[in-house]
Amino acid sequence: NAGVTQTPKFQVLKTGQSMTLQCAQDMNHNSMYWYRQDPGMGLRLIYYSASEGTTDKGEVPNGYNVSRLNKREFSLRLESAAPSQTSVYFCASRFGGLETQYFGPGTRLLVL
């Protein structure tokens, strides 16, 4: 099992460009999450999907959209990237009812 995979690993964007971060899990988990990690801030929840077909906002959703394409895949889209969105983005998944979240390796995004 690969666990949680994320693509791309690194990306450089110019202000105003758009891109989609991809996340997939092969553990048959119901819930999936997108976090961003900035220095001194820990991880902050952007969006989550409690189950296939549902999505909801987290703590810092502005400037982002998400799609739960199927049970395996949960993508994060930046429509018009801003320098404030420079960060490391982590996707995570969880089997409903259990505490443990499993994280992917992250996508490092730089917006110039």
Partner 1 sequence: TQLLEQSPQFLSIQEGENLTVYCNSSSVFSSLQWYRQEPGEGPVLLVTVVTGGEVKKLKRLTFQFGDARKDSSLHITAAQPGDTGLYLCAVRGGGGTSYGKLTFGQGTILTVHP
> Residue 102 carries which side chain, given as an amino acid letter?
Y
- Of 15-23, 36-44, 63-71, 78-86, the segment contacting partner 1 by CB under 8 A is 36-44
Binding footprint of partner 1, residue count (CB under 8 A) = 25
> Which listed residue (17, 22, 50, 71) binds partner 1 by CB under 8 A?
50
Binding status of residue 66 toward partner 1 by CB under 8 A: no
Q: How far is the CB of 45 from partner 1 (least distance, A)?
A: 6
68-91 burial, b at 16+ Cβ within 10 Å, e below that, comes to beebbbbbbebeebeeebbbebbb
CA of residue 84 relative to chain centroid, distance: 16
- Cα separation, 12 vs 15, in Å, equals 10
Residues forming contacts to partner 1 in the complex (CB under 8 A) are: 4, 31, 33, 40-45, 48, 50, 56, 58-59, 90, 92, 94, 96, 99-101, 103-106
